[in-house]
Structure 1
Amino acid sequence: MKQYESYKDSGIKWLGKIPSQWRLVSFKRLFSFGRGLSITKADLVEEGIPVISYGQIHSKQNTGTKVEQHLLRYVPKSYIEGNNSSKVNKGDFIFADTSEDLEGCGNCVYIDNNYLIYAGYHSIIARSIQSNDNKYLSYLFKTDCWRSQIRSSVYGVKVFSVTQSTLSDSMVILPPIEEQTTIVSYLDYKVGQIDATIAEKEQILEDLKAYRSAIISEAVTKGLDKDVEMKDSGIEWLGMIPAKWDCSSLKRFLSQPLQYGANESAESTNPDWPRYIRITDIDEYGNLRDETFKSLDPEKANDYLLEKGDVLFARSGATVGKTFIFNENHAACFAGYLIKAKCGEKLLPEFLYLYTNSIQYDNWKNSVFIQATIQNIGADKYSLLPIVVPSIEEQQRILDYVNAKLCKLSSVITDVQSQIDDLKKYKSSIITEAVTGKVDLRDWKPYKK
């Protein structure tokens, strides 16, 4: 695409040059500020008055350019009495006032219609002064180039705070109104195409993951011999199992009781100290993330050091039930929200880990949650996890078979995930180029079939 005839220096490091006829305006000239309802997560209910919650603002499903109805939460009607200032209007933005990482600083939801919606806890309302159509700005606020000024101004260690002052002092790029309209039309069209392709790829990815789970589930609960004699496990979600397999609680197959991790803060990055493994260090495929490395003082780590074959279980939060098998060549210890299982002579650690990636394991987790007010699985519950265990020799045969199947499947999953990541980067670059004037879209027209 072509560029503008002339550009001018914006005078802002994060932005560089902008089209000569575009303006830079301070955020505070476009918006006033308000606060969300004085509520907590515990106040949210299944039905009532809709609110934009802190969780929705930071959700990966939040596009930032519209209200995602399926992410809305609710409060009782009594909570909004006398709180009209927390109601949002078309053209407003709701920003999260804190973030657990720098990347999330600047996350917001754009109010794209005249809904009856209130801002929830930990939120800042940016109330539009001049216009109720700020779709162009909803795209601008998604870009790294705009968020860089927010990130450079926030403060915090474990949690980063985004204040009204931080937003107020930021600068906003404003093209002429007619160009804003064209840019929005272009981005709605292009982003819609890209999002549709991403959705298709993500469905393929989900299907591949389901197939992966089915391969594991069949192998670890039914075995490889289709003609083997079966027996009733006596457990509804487990069903029939091979007659010669043992079925009992996990604790029977461990060499020592389950152990909780260290209750220490993760502050050091000393590469000579044992790595301090936390739930957030483990990705969805059971691998350690390099970019989240933290370490712990050897004296504090000593009682929580890991050996090869140790299996870690997450005990609370959004990732409760996630597992990780330690097979690293470097020293490591584990944090308090993880529980360590050390297998005895009748159970291979790799088989236990594989079992925790099965559909049956997910069914067990769900059965535990039905009886609990919060999603939390402690050592007492994990110790009672029903597990089916064949002989060591058959465990190894199953592992060899499954690993061979998953090796081929993993490469396909990796390829599809890479395609999704590339599409998201492409979408980001298209948005950035459009809202910063790197391309001239004034003559753009949607393609006609």
Structure 2
Amino acid sequence: MEYPAYDSYKPSSIDWIDKVPSHWVTWKVTHGFNLVGSGTTPKSDNQSYYEGGETPWITTSELREKEILDTKFKITKTALADYSTLKVYKPGSLAFAMYGATIGRLGILGIDATVNQACCVFDEPEQFDTKFFFYWLWMRRDVLISLSVGGGQPNLSQDDLKQIRAPIPPVTEQQKISAFLDYKTQQIDHLIEKKKALIEKLEEKRITVITQTVTKGINNNIKLKPSGKHWLGDIPKNWVCSYLKHFSLIYDCKHLTAQFVDDGYPLASISEVKGWYVDLATSKKTTYEYYHDLIAGERKPKTGDIIYSRNATVGEAAIVSKNTPDFAMGQDVCLIRSSDLLLPDFLMYFLNSKLILQQLDLLMVGSTFKRINVNDIKNFTLLIPPIEEQKQIIDYLIEVENKSQSMVLKVSEALERLEEYKAALVTLDFPAF
């Protein structure tokens, strides 16, 4: 992809820019904006600075190359009065992340707002059109980061940004360029949102099919009977409606803090139960002594056991495969060991169904933190078909999953191409106008 070129170019006076259109003029940022400032973080343990606050307070995590219309935190008039470094910036101001993991991220204020100390704000433009400079910084982000300093993470200061020199066209031309890039990026953003919505619909359809299958089976002509629970309705006549504790043993993790070592026995916590099988690739490790303490009382995971998250990522689960090395449960998970009447793969599908999700929602109503205890898990309502029917359901759902994953992969690849195209828009030279 290439933009139309200008008629003539001249050498740039900036080391990392080769050439610029002949009629462009190089300005220092402080000559282009009358105000370049930042902010601070009011003490988080002082509720008078946050409780009932009405003034939006932006952190760098909210800079996502979009217009900022709301913030996670808001501060009070007391905070504004106590901290002279807190300034309220006007809509249209440009915010830039100066350091940390988000260095180089950008945002345009769509509201009156303050910022923390990691944000640099450009306001009151003179020679620069703010939106043009937004795209200029976006285009040069990698170069700017490479110029930063810092030990663990790159770091740019306000002074660094004030010293930036940028070649720019007249303001009217800047506005034409930024309007063109707005139009193109909005087109791409619209397509990206449609792809993301499609992925969400595919996931919703997948969960719906799983739920229908593990509650009604795959035989549409099967006779039904009352489940005995008004919220569940009728179930297949030869199925059993019971509680998980009647068909499984459930062991909570040991509530002790293990010593971490570089080379030892893996620990499975909530991060290790993101997929169908327990993944220990990036797990923390502990010593032989702690490992044996953690697996005491039948807690040593076996093939077919399920590790279930009961804190933060409540409801996520993964099966222990036959290739999984010896490991112990870390914090915030429990172990489910199904009986011979309940196949692990069927139970996994059931745990991913809306029937379990609804039970989780009821258990966590009013809770500030997402967390359930082991007794809640033991009392999950469960539907258990005969073993042969469980096998048929597993085979059917594997086929459904494969088709669903194939479709999601295709959409994800298209989404990735759109993201790459959008990135390319702001890594090329500006189009000629």
**Alignment TM-score, normalising by the size of structure 1:** 0.75
**Alignment pair present for 1:34 and 2:39:** yes
**1:24/1:314 Cα in 2 relative to 1: closer, same or farther (>3 Å)?**
farther
**Alignment pair present for 1:349 and 2:344:** yes
**Alignment pair present for 1:442 and 2:395:** no
Q: Which residue of 2 aligns with 1:174?
A: 166
Aligned letter for 1:58? S
Question: Following the alignment from structure 1 to structure 2, what is the Cα–Cα distance between the partners of residues 43 and 96?
Answer: 27
Q: How far does residue 247 in structure 1 lie from its aligned partner after superposition?
A: 2.6
Q: How far does residue 219 in structure 1 lie from its aligned partner after superposition?
A: 0.8
The secondary structure found in structure 2 opposite 1:126 is strand
* CA contact 1:220–1:398 (8 Å) conserved in 2: yes
Q: How far does residue 187 in structure 1 lie from its aligned partner after superposition?
A: 1.8
Please show how residues 268-283 of structure 1 align to structure 2 within 5 Å. Answer: 268=262, 273-280=264-271, 283=274
Question: Following the alignment from structure 2 to structure 1, what is the Cα–Cα distance between the partners of residues 354 and 244?
Answer: 17
Q: How far does residue 241 in structure 1 lie from its aligned partner after superposition?
A: 2.3
User: Which of 377, 382, 403 is the equivalent residue of 1:382?
Assistant: 377
User: Which of 46, 56, 61 is the equivalent residue of 1:58?
Assistant: 61
Q: How far does residue 364 in structure 1 lie from its aligned partner after superposition?
A: 1.5
**1:349/1:169 Cα in 2 relative to 1: closer, same or farther (>3 Å)?**
farther
RMSD: 4.0
Aligned letter for 1:66? E
The secondary structure found in structure 2 opposite 1:401 is helix
Please show how residues 64-103 of structure 1 align to structure 2 within 5 Å. Answer: 64-69=65-70, 74=74, 85-93=86-94, 102=101
* CA contact 2:244–2:377 (8 Å) conserved in 1: yes
Q: Which residue of 2 aligns with 1:447?
A: none
User: Which of 418, 426, 441 is the equivalent residue of 2:413?
Assistant: 418
Question: Following the alignment from structure 2 to structure 1, what is the Cα–Cα distance between the partners of residues 266 and 12?
Answer: 49
Q: For residues 162-220 of structure 1, give each alpha carbon's deviation from its aligned partner in whole angstroms, at most 9, with x where no partner exists.
A: 87x65654675623153543442222111111111112212221221111111100011
Q: For residues 395-448 of structure 1, give each alpha carbon's deviation from its aligned partner in whole angstroms, at most 9, with x where no partner exists.
A: 111111111122122111111111112211221222222xxxxx24122xxxxx
Question: Following the alignment from structure 1 to structure 2, what is the Cα–Cα distance between the partners of residues 423 and 338?
Answer: 38
**1:190/1:212 Cα in 2 relative to 1: closer, same or farther (>3 Å)?**
same
**Alignment pair present for 1:296 and 2:293:** no
Question: Following the alignment from structure 1 to structure 2, what is the Cα–Cα distance between the partners of residues 278 and 137?
Answer: 45
* CA contact 2:278–2:319 (8 Å) conserved in 1: no
Q: How far does residue 23 in structure 1 lie from its aligned partner after superposition?
A: 5.0
Please show how residues 364-375 of structure 1 align to structure 2 within 5 Å. Answer: 364-375=359-370
**1:255/1:381 Cα in 2 relative to 1: closer, same or farther (>3 Å)?**
closer
- Structure 1 unaligned blocks of 5 or more: 434-438, 444-449
Question: Following the alignment from structure 2 to structure 1, what is the Cα–Cα distance between the partners of residues 174 and 160?
Answer: 22
Moved more, 127-136 or 212-221: 127-136
The secondary structure found in structure 2 opposite 1:35 is coil
* CA contact 2:192–2:415 (8 Å) conserved in 1: yes
* CA contact 2:258–2:286 (8 Å) conserved in 1: no
- Identity of counterpart residues, as a percentage? 19
- CA radius of gyration, larger in: 2
* CA contact 2:334–2:374 (8 Å) conserved in 1: yes
Aligned letter for 2:166? L
Q: How far does residue 250 in structure 1 lie from its aligned partner after superposition?
A: 2.2
**Alignment pair present for 1:407 and 2:402:** yes
* CA contact 1:94–1:126 (8 Å) conserved in 2: yes
Q: Which residue of 2 aligns with 1:312?
A: 307
Aligned letter for 1:432? T
User: Which of 150, 153, 166 is the equivalent residue of 1:153?
Assistant: 150
* CA contact 2:98–2:120 (8 Å) conserved in 1: no
Q: How far does residue 359 in structure 1 lie from its aligned partner after superposition?
A: 1.6
**1:43/1:139 Cα in 2 relative to 1: closer, same or farther (>3 Å)?**
farther
The secondary structure found in structure 2 opposite 1:128 is strand
Question: Following the alignment from structure 1 to structure 2, what is the Cα–Cα distance between the partners of residues 326 and 93?
Answer: 49
**1:78/1:440 Cα in 2 relative to 1: closer, same or farther (>3 Å)?**
closer
**Alignment TM-score, normalising by the size of structure 2:** 0.77
Aligned letter for 1:117? A
Question: Following the alignment from structure 1 to structure 2, what is the Cα–Cα distance between the partners of residues 151 and 266?
Answer: 34
Q: How far does residue 222 in structure 1 lie from its aligned partner after superposition?
A: 1.5
Q: Which residue of 2 aligns with 1:110?
A: 108
Q: How far does residue 256 in structure 1 lie from its aligned partner after superposition?
A: 4.4
Question: Following the alignment from structure 2 to structure 1, what is the Cα–Cα distance between the partners of residues 44 and 243?
Answer: 42
Aligned letter for 1:293? T
The secondary structure found in structure 2 opposite 1:321 is coil
* CA contact 1:266–1:276 (8 Å) conserved in 2: no
Question: Following the alignment from structure 2 to structure 1, what is the Cα–Cα distance between the partners of residues 236 and 50?
Answer: 45
Q: Which residue of 1 aligns with 2:356?
A: 361
Q: Which residue of 1 aligns with 2:209?
A: 215
Moved more, 329-338 or 22-31: 22-31
Q: Which residue of 1 aligns with 2:223?
A: 228
* CA contact 1:27–1:167 (8 Å) conserved in 2: no
Report how many aligned residue pairs link the two structures. Answer: 410
**Alignment pair present for 1:49 and 2:58:** no
* CA contact 1:261–1:338 (8 Å) conserved in 2: no
